C-alpha cells in the first residue's frame, strides 16, 4: 500500500532489506500454497528451514547465539510481512523467537544459551511456550501446574492448553509453581519421561498453525534445565508475553494491509451499475477509513520500536499497541470482506482467512479486555483487576 506519510524515510537500509526479503519470501513461497494449507489445516513445516535461512528466528539476539543483532523495528517489519501471508506463520516465528529463545537468552545460564539458541536459530530445534492452562488464561497466577524439588532436578505435574507448535516442538518453556507458590521457568525437552502433547483439531481460525496441549505427568526435569533467572517469578513469564505482543502489534497490521490491498484492487476492477464500485461514495469511505487506521497504527508501531531500541518502552505501551492493532485489523478485515461481497468468503481472495485468524489474534497473548485494563490502570492509577 502507499506510504503516504513517508514512513520509509525513518527506516534504515538494513530494515528495508529485512522487510523486502520477507515480503519476497511470502509472495513466492507462501501465497501459492496458503489457501490449501488453511483449508486442509496444514502447517507448512517444509518451510521452517527457509525461514531459518532468512534469519527470522531470534533475529534480535546477538550473533554469538545465532541471532542477527537486528533492530526491534526490523523484527517488527518481519512480523508485519509474515502476517501479510498468514497469522499462523507469524505466530510460529513469534513463539520460536519471543516466547522460547528470548527466555533462554534472558533467564538462562551461559551453558543453556550455547546449547539451545544456535540450534533454534538454525531451525534445528523448535520450541513452544507453556503458560496457558485449561482453567487459567487471563489469570496466569492461578496456574495449577506444580514443580516439586527432587534429587538432581524437579518433577512437574500439570497441563497446558492452546499451545502453538506443541506437537512439533523439541522443547517447551514451561511455567510452574514450586511448593512455596513461586512461579519458575523450565526447559522441558520432548524426550523427558512424563512429557506428552496432543493436537487440538476442529479449529476454524489459525488453521495453518499447529495448536495443542502439553501434559506433564510427574515429568522429571534436571537442574541444568531450570531457568535460574526466573527466580523473579511470574513477571518473567509476562516479560516474554510483552516481547510477543510487540510482534503481534506489527503482525496484525500486516494482515490488515493485505485485506486493504485486496479490497482496493477489487473495488477498482469490479463494476456494478456501469462503473467501478470504487467510484461509489460508501465504498470510498470504507477504503479511506481502512487506510487511515493502518497508517496510524504503522506510525504507532514504528515509534514503539524506536523506544524499545532506546530501552524506553514498557508493557503499557505494548499493550496499547497490541490492543489498537488487533481491534483495527479485525474491523478492516470485516470491511474488506464486505466490499468483496460473496467473493469475500472465498479462500481465493484470502480476506476471510485473515478475518478468521484475526479473531484469535484479537484474543491471544492477552485479550482485548485485559489490555484495556492494563492501560486503564496506568492512566487512572486504579486497579480494575481485583
Q: Catalytic residues, which ones?
A: 365
Distance between CA atoms of residues 57 and 108, nearest Å: 18
**Cell numbers linked to 251:** 503482525
Task: State the helix-helix crossing angle for 281-309 and 315-339, rounded to 10 degrees.
Answer: 160
Cα dist from 188 to 221, 230, 248, whole Å: 6, 15, 25
Distance between CA atoms of residues 277 and 273, nearest Å: 8
Place of cell 474488506: 336
How crowded is residue 233: how many other Cβ atoms within 10 Å of its Cβ? 17
The answer to whether 106 touches 50, Cβ cutoff 8 Å, is no
Query: Nearest CA to 183 among 233, 237, 136, 133?
Result: 233
Q: Is 344 helix (H, G, I), strand (E, B) or coil?
A: helix
Q: What is the DSSP letter of 67?
A: -
Distance between CA atoms of residues 236 and 45, nearest Å: 30
Query: Nearest CA to 92 among 163, 145, 142, 40?
Result: 163
The backbone region for 33, taken as left when phi is positive above 0, alpha when psi lies in -120 to 50, beta otherwise, is: alpha
Q: What is the DSSP letter of 181?
A: S
Distance between CA atoms of residues 260 and 379, nearest Å: 32
Distance between CA atoms of residues 303 and 301, nearest Å: 5
CA 58 and chain centroid, separation: 13
Classify residue 179 as exposed, middle or buried by CB count within 10 Å of its CB (0-12, 13-18, 19+): exposed
Distance between CA atoms of residues 320 and 338, nearest Å: 27
Cα dist from 264 to 1, 80, 339, 349, whole Å: 9, 19, 9, 12
Q: Is the dihedral of CA 6, 12, 18, 21 positive or negative?
A: positive
Amino acid at each position: 500500500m502507499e506510504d503516504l506519510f513517508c514512513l520509509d524515510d525513518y527506516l534504515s537500509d538494513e530494515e528495508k532489506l529485512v522487510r523486502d526479503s520477507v515480503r519476497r519470501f511470502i509472495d513466492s513461497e507462501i501465497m501459492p500454497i496458503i489457501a490449501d494449507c488453511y483449508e486442509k489445516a496444514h502447517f507448512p513445516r517444509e518451510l521452517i528451514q527457509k525461514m531459518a535461512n532468512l534469519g527470522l528466528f531470534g533475529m534480535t539476539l546477538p550473533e554469538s547465539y545465532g541471532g542477527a543483532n537486528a533492530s526491534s523495528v526490523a523484527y517488527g517489519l518481519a512480523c508485519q510481512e509474515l502476517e501479510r501471508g498468514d497469522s499462523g506463520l507469524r505466530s510460529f516465528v513469534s513463539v520460536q523467537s519471543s516466547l522460547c529463545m528470548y527466555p533462554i537468552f534472558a533467564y538462562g545460564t551461559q551453558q543453556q544459551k550455547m546449547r539451545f539458541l544456535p540450534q533454534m536459530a538454525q531451525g534445528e530445534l523448535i520450541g513452544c511456550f507453556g503458560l496457558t492452562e485449561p482453567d487459567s488464561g487471563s489469570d496466569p497466577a492461578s496456574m495449577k501446574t506444580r514443580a516439586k524439588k527432587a534429587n538432581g532436578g524437579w518433577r512437574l505435574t500439570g497441563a497446558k492448553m492452546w499451545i502453538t507448535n506443541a506437537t512439533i516442538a523439541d522443547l517447551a518453556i514451561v511455567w510452574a509453581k514450586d511448593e512455596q507458590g513461586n512461579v519458575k521457568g523450565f526447559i522441558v525437552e520432548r524426550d523427558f519421561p512424563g512429557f506428552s502433547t496432543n493436537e487440538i483439531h476442529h479449529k476454524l481460525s489459525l488453521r495453518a498453525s499447529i495448536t495443542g496441549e502439553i501434559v506433564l505427568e510427574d515429568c522429571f526435569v534436571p537442574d541444568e534445565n531450570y531457568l535460574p533467572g526466573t527466580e523473579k517469578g511470574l513477571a518473567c513469564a509476562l516479560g516474554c508475553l510483552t516481547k510477543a505482543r510487540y510482534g503481534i502489534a506489527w503482525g496484525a497490521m500486516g494482515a490488515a494491509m493485505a485485506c486493504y490491498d485486496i479490497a482496493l484492487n477489487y473495488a477498482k476492477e469490479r463494476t456494478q451499475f456501469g462503473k467501478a464500485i470504487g467510484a461509489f461514495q460508501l465504498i470510498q469511505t470504507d477504503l479511506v477509513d481502512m487506510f487511515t487506521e493502518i497508517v496510524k497504527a504503522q506510525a504507532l508501531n514504528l515509534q514503539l520500536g524506536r523506544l524499545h531500541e532506546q530501552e524506553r518502552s514498557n508493557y503499557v505501551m505494548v499493550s496499547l499497541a497490541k490492543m489498537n492493532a488487533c481491534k483495527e485489523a479485525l474491523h478492516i478485515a470485516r470491511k474488506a470482506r464486505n466490499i468483496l461481497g460473496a467473493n469475500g468468503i472465498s479462500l481465493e481472495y484470502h480476506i476471510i482467512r485473515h478475518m478468521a485468524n484475526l479473531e484469535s489474534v484479537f484474543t491471544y497473548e492477552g485479550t482485548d479486555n485485559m489490555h484495556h485494563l492494563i492501560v486503564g490502570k496506568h492512566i487512572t492509577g486504579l486497579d480494575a483487576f481485583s
